[in-house]
Chains A and B, each alone.
Chain A
Amino acid sequence: GAGVSQSPRYKVAKRGQDVALRCDPISGHVSLFWYQQALGQGPEFLTYFQNEAQLDKSGLPSDRFFAERPEGSVSTLKIQRTQQEDSAVYLCASSLVGGALTDTQYFGPGTRLTVL
């Protein structure tokens, strides 16, 4: 069965460019998470959706970061005016149930963003 997919897998942007990263969760999964993994660090939570509702965006590092999931399935993470410190792997994960703290999160392969 299809897992979580992300596109593009690699993105190189010039500083100041806007980028959009896409996540296709497992069909029927209610919850969707975005994480950022900087080099040498563990993934860090960015934001969480339950269906189309963005219930937690406390991890978004600045107002240049914006995420949406308008129809409760595909999600897009947008970064405006990219900076070098935005270079990281961006991971998306989905889980079947909304609000279940012990539900397994299924991860995509990530998008590696490099800002020059």
Chain B
Amino acid sequence: ILNVEQSPQSLHVQEGDSTNFTCSFPSSNFYALHWYRWETAKSPEALFVMTLNGDEKKKGRISATLNTKEGYSYLYIKGSQPEDSATYLCAFIEVYSGGGADGLTFGKGTHLIIQP
């Protein structure tokens, strides 16, 4: 069973502040890491797909880094806005010994609340 951990579980941040949270995953057999944002009553929305050690990706005020050797990824939000309130999920894909992999293995998510 793959262990994908996200911390913290929940986070309250003042509007305008920057914040970050962590996704930890097994460092062996890494293939890819996905980040999703899931707002209440909506569909999970893809943010990033990361594959290479040292990858940095950016989308507006949100960015992510990847360290596959030590098994973690950080998601950063700069200048938080109320619309950033959501659950942020990371999902890991492992390469099986047979060379294939199918479904994503998700963490439990970080629930972010931006306070005006």
Contacts and interface: CB of A to CB of B under 8 A. Distances in A.
Interface in B31-61: 31-32, 34, 36, 41-46, 49, 51
Interface of B: 4, 6, 31-32, 34, 36, 41-46, 49, 51, 89, 91, 93, 95, 100-109
A45 interface: yes
A42 B90 CA distance: 9
A76 B108 CA distance: 26
- Report, nearest first, the 3 A-B pairs whose CB atoms are least far apart: A45-B103, A42-B106, A107-B44
Contacts of B43: 3-4, 106-110
Contact of B42 (A45, A56, A102, A109): A109
Contact of A48 (B4, B6, B103, B105): B103
Contact of B104 (A3, A4, A45, A109): A45
Contacts of A101: 31-32, 93, 95, 101
A91 B44 contact: yes
A55 B108 CA distance: 26
A59 to B, nearest CB: 6
Interface string A92-116: 0000000101111111111000000
A106 B46 contact: yes
Contact of A102 (B49, B102, B107): B49
A41 to B, nearest CB: 6
Given A42-B4, A91-B44, A104 B106 contact: no
A101 B41 CA distance: 27
Contact of A40 (B32, B104, B108): B108
Contacts of B105: 45
B110 to A, nearest CB: 11
